[in-house]
Structure 1
Amino acid sequence: MIDNTENYLDGDVLTIVSRYEEMIKANELYYFDVHEFENIIDHYIEKNKYSDAVKVTTIASKQHPTAISIQIKKAQVLINRGQHLEALAILNKVQGIESSNKEIWLLKGNIYNLMGKHKSAKKQFDEALKKDHENREDLLFRIAMAFEQLNQFDLAIGYLEEALRLNEEDSEVLFELGYCYEKLGLDEKSIKTYSKFLDINPFSDNAWYNIGIVYNRMATFPKAIEAYEFALAVNPQHSKAYFNLANALANSGKFEEAIKLYIEYLEFEDDHASTYSYIGECFEKLNEYDQALNYYETAIKTNEELPDPWFGMGLILMYQDKIDESLVYLEKANKLDSDNPDYWFALASAYSRSETPQKAVRAFREAIDLDPYDPTFSITLAEFYHRNEKVETAIDVLLESCGYNPDSPELLNNLAAYYMLSGDLNATEHYIKKSTDIDAENLNEIFLQFPELEENSQFKKIIAAYSA
């Protein structure tokens, strides 16, 4: 919410507040001028003592019944107490007397904003801007922050961009604009804006950290790593930078370095279970399964409700052909997070190796339903049907997936292979052509998955005709 309190000298205010509290204690009535009452109200607002602030506004209103500023303060207190409609009634009343007062429009904007009526809030804020031409840049920033605090980043951006046009080197505006762009996934704009901020404030660890997040999301891991390293150089106590740097290193395949950073991060934060799980995953990627299992087990002991280490344990046990043990962990992970398609896919893979075909098909289907845009799930289910001599069903699965992934060469190649196995030459050629129109370089890889087709002269002839 836009802050309506003014800066004041703490010493002077405390003297006034002390005199006011003396009056309350003595059950007497002292005189305070309007400005003094405003400072007393602001003091209680700052202390989050809203009941006391309301009491001050009541006394102040009796001493100064025509003071608009006291009524505005009362509305502000009511807003802080969540009494939005009461505050709005007061503001509407005083607005009829002093419509040029921008604070009235701002507070009404705050109320509508807090009530979720963001378009109405914008109208009020825009009216406030019309009332104040001298402090426009500051007012634009305050309005933007009101929207940003309620995650209305798209609305905040308009005000921040206008503020930036008034002062291109306002570092506060640059930082918040970069943040809003980041939150809306406007990565290039976010990086450009954060970079301008860093030109002015190169020692801002938070800006380096935030720009690292954006680079990491863009999978530009070297730049993400560099940004997190700058953040830590500026502030070695920035714990989240250790964690995100470790993630970026892991995403870059630098698992040993990532492990060291995760271990350093353990010294800062209490979120040990997730960190142990990430360390386990790094060891898993290094094929150091014993170490990975140790860390996954430690993560589970730390927090049994975290699904990731259960999933990691299940995967490794499946790699080691310990299918029954694997299922215990994969089923647990799935129970903890039934909306994760990767968990269903791993569970389906384990079921397919445990002589439980119905469970396997159901799990594959769950994975596909959760993420139909990943063709791997459908391709693997089709392979399962193929192994069970159900080629026509495999074709149906892939045709369904084509509706979501029409430009997947691997999917199209698989379809062509299954049509060849079913004896449909026209369909085979049709899908080979569609595949090569997208990517002709890896066409021969189809024989790795379907070695039986290497002896099929008709299929090889079609492949040769469309090979790059």
Structure 2
Amino acid sequence: MEFSPNNNELPLTKFESMLKTNHVLFFDSEEFENIIHYYLDLGKIALAKKAIKLGLDQHPTSTNLKLFKVEVYVFENKLEEADVMLNELYNLEPHNEEIYIQKANILSKRDQHEDAIDLLKKAIDLSQDDASDLYSLIGMEYLFLDKFEDAKDNFIKCLESDLEDYSALYNMVYCFEFLEQHQEAIDYLNIYIDKNPYSEVAWHQLGKQYVALKRHKKAIAAFDFAIISDDTFVGAYIEKGKVLEKLKRFEEAIECYTTSLTLDDPTSFALLRIGHCYEKLGNQELAVQYYYKTVHEDPLLDKGWVAITKFYNKQRNFQKSLHYINKAINIDSENVKYWKLYAQINHRLNHLEEAERGFKKTLELGNYELNTWLTRCDILIEIDEPEAAIYNLLQAMEFYPENAEIEYRLAGLYHVTNETEKASFHLKNALLYNPDYIFIIEELFPETYKSSFLKKALKPKE
């Protein structure tokens, strides 16, 4: 039973009026059930509890009202109280399926998912009505257990009973995707669409499966059918736009993203993608306009600030790039790509201390590319931090053993710090790994290159 607060004849209005006075009015138990259900659906737990109390005062033997009380206990994590009440109800009505459902809910909360599934299966046996909701609950329990095949099977059973259960449809597709069964998902969705041909959700999900298999033309056709089924379906326009981008059909992609903006509040994602498309088309002015619109719409969208950073980077306006990458880092300070970009921009601006800090942070966040270690080393050499440079390279050797570029740098660094024996050891290794890289010594350590130390090492043995 649905309620509309504007209709004074409905029990909800009568109930809410009663709460404002000291007069207790009578409702039959079914009216109380509908009122409680309404409040629970809205998440108004306090009002639901008031309705349960008044309902049980007037109908103390009502099993359904007691089950609502159990539901609230479970919601509030009062599992012991819920258990006691369910046991009492079970003694009275051992064949009531709702008792099994609530008991399963408690077991699920206690991470006893297998036991919860057993009870839900018993509830199905007892059910006199459509069991689609029960299959959906079993599917969720299997998801908790990471048993995706079993979960998928139960969501399919749910859809066989209720084609309109889109929550089950999404969960079923999630299982297919996790199992990387994209073709199987396509096969099932086509069967589903035969039964429900105007389901925009199914067409949308079908398109996403085609995208996963890189069957882009099929994906576009599916998204088009989703739009035909519901021409206000923003998600279909967005997904179609993404595929068109992959096919380098940027004007059409812009059209899709623009349409999505007219159907709902502007999304930063669509604005950002429009900017990227204009940049690909060579329209720099419109590209940067949309990048700025993106961050105006969502100032906390780090990807928007990064897009502006990269835009000015390509324009070689490094000062502006630095300004905007700082904004991105302030939003997501643990993003290794942002720190690497920060380091590279500072390096181009010859802000060596800041560049070194950026590369160090990049390494700390797990970017162990050889070039990151080497560039940081070269900066440390340039700012006269040989000990730090040596330590940096010794760390790099753990990831890149027997690397000539590392060995030549260590040879030079140990030579300038007067550790000749270590310098000789690493120079010998470097020459063994790749003698052609001797220019590293010449470029980074010109004094060492001219020294007798190097000449002696390079002198052919008689």
Q: TM-score under structure 2 normalisation?
A: 0.69
Which residue number corresponds to residue 211 of structure 1?
206
Cα deviations across residues 123-173 of structure 1 (Å, max 9, x unaligned)? Answer: 134124235436599546425347649974846862551575799797468
Partner in structure 1 of residue 415 of structure 2: none
Between 140-149 and 315-324, the greater mean CA deviation after superposition: 140-149
CA contact (8 A) 1:276 1:299 kept: yes
Pairing partner for 1:305 from 300, 307, 318: 300
Give the 5 Å matches for 1:65-214: 68-76=63-71, 78-79=73-74, 84-113=79-108, 116-119=109-112, 121-130=113-122, 132-133=124-125, 135=127, 138-139=130-131, 141-145=133-137, 148=140, 152=144, 154=146, 158=150, 160-162=152-154, 164=156, 171=163, 175-176=169-170, 178-181=172-175, 184=178, 186-188=180-182, 189-214=184-209
- C-alpha distance in structure 1 between counterparts of 2:220 and 2:291, whole Å: 25
- Which residue number in structure 1 is paired with residue 228 of structure 2? 233
Q: How does 1:53-452 map to 2 (within 5 A)?
A: 53-62=51-60, 64=61, 68-76=63-71, 78-79=73-74, 84-113=79-108, 116-119=109-112, 121-130=113-122, 132-133=124-125, 135=127, 138-139=130-131, 141-145=133-137, 148=140, 152=144, 154=146, 158=150, 160-162=152-154, 164=156, 171=163, 175-176=169-170, 178-181=172-175, 184=178, 186-188=180-182, 189-216=184-211, 221-372=216-367, 377-379=369-371, 381-382=373-374, 385=377, 399-401=397-399, 424=430, 427=433
Count of residues in correspondence between the two structures = 399
Alpha-carbon distance in 2 for matches of 1:137, 1:370: 55
Residue identity (%): 22
Residues 278-327 of structure 1: CA deviation (Å, up to 9, x unaligned): 22222233343332222222333333332222212221222222222221
Q: Is the 8 A contact 1:137 1:166 kept in 2?
A: no
Q: Is the 8 A contact 2:139 2:151 kept in 1?
A: no
Q: Pairwise CA RMSD of aligned residues?
A: 4.6
**SS at structure 1 position matched to 2:125:** coil
Aligned to 1:44: 36
**Structure 1 counterpart of 2:110, which letter?**
K
Instruction: Assess, with a 3 A threshold, how the Cα gap between structure 1 residues 166 and 360 changes in structure 2: closer, same or farther.
Output: closer
Hey, what's the Cα distance between the residues in 2 that align with 1:100 and 1:184?
37
Aligned residue for 1:332, secondary structure, equals: helix
- Aligned AA for 2:55? T
The 3 A distance-change label for structure 1 pair 295 and 58 is same
Query: Are the equivalent residues in 2 in contact too, given 1:178–1:194 (CA < 8 A)?
Result: no
Residues 197, 118 of structure 1: CA spacing in aligned structure 2 closer, same or farther, 3 A cutoff?
farther
Partner amino acid for 1:228? Answer: F
Structure 1 unaligned regions, length at least 5: 1-6, 404-411, 430-451, 453-468
Q: How far apart in 1 are the matches of 2:36 and 2:268? A: 41
Tell which has more relative contact order, 1 or 2 (C-alpha 8 A, sep 6+). Answer: 1
Structure 2 distance, partners of 1:276, 1:149, is 39
Does the residue aligned with 1:339 lie in a helix, a strand or coil? coil
**Higher Rg of the two aligned structures:** 2
CA 191–418 in structure 1, closer or farther in 2 if over 3 Å, else same? farther
Render the CA deviation track for 1:370-402: whole Å, top value 9, x for unaligned: 354xx7x54355356569799999976765556
